[in-house]
């Protein structure tokens, strides 16, 4: 059981690190949107997708381990992950608002950037 506990803690630490990286990506996206650099957002999508796929893999491993271990072994990492996810949500809501404003502006000027928002 001690090995399971160490592995579960390792997975939770990796998840927390990945969520923090996703928060950094969301903040970078926010800065790029504020600067009007919508074209540069495509590069962030691949970085984000790789982290999300890693998170899914870790989530499956955590679910497998959680079935075999105590619920108390999840320690204090889970609340920190939840707080980080809430911060990501707040930044993404701000990003959507900026993107909507940018798309409305570009539709008025005839630029073709509105296609990115629909995808």
pLDDT in tens, 36-85: 887 788 888 888 889 989 989 998 888 887 766 655 555 556 777 777 88
pLDDT at 119: 39
Confidence of residue 117 (pLDDT cuts 50, 70, 90): very low
Q: How far apart are CA 58 and CA 75, in angstroms?
A: 17
The band of 90, judged by pLDDT with boundaries at 50, 70 and 90, is: confident
Kindly report the average pLDDT of the chain as a whole number: 76
Reported confidence tier of residue 116, pLDDT bands at 50, 70, 90:
very low
pLDDT band at 35 (very low <50, low <70, confident <90, very high): confident
Contacts of 58 (CB under 8 A, 6+ apart): 11, 14, 15, 18
pTM equals: 0.67
State the number of CA atoms in the 13 A half-sphere of 100 facing the CB: 6
Task: Check if the beta carbon of residue 22 is closer than 8 Å to that of residue 90.
Answer: no
Going from the C-alpha of 87 to that of each of 8, 41, 65, 75, 80, the distances in angstroms are 24, 20, 27, 21, 11
Confidence of residue 16 (pLDDT cuts 50, 70, 90): confident
């Amino acid at each position: 059981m001690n090995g399971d506990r160490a592995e579960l803690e390792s997975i939770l630490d990796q998840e927390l690190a990945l969520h923090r990286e996703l928060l950094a990506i969301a903040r970078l996206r926010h800065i790029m949107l504020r600067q009007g650099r919508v074209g540069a957002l495509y590069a962030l999508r691949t970085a984000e997708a790789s982290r999300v796929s890693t998170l899914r893999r870790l989530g499956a491993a955590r679910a497998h381990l959680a079935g075999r271990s105590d619920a108390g072994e999840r320690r204090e990492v889970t609340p920190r992950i939840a707080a980080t996810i809430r911060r990501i949500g707040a930044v993404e809501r701000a990003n959507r608002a900026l993107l909507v404003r940018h798309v409305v502006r570009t539709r008025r000027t005839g630029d073709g950037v509105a296609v990115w928002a629909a995808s």
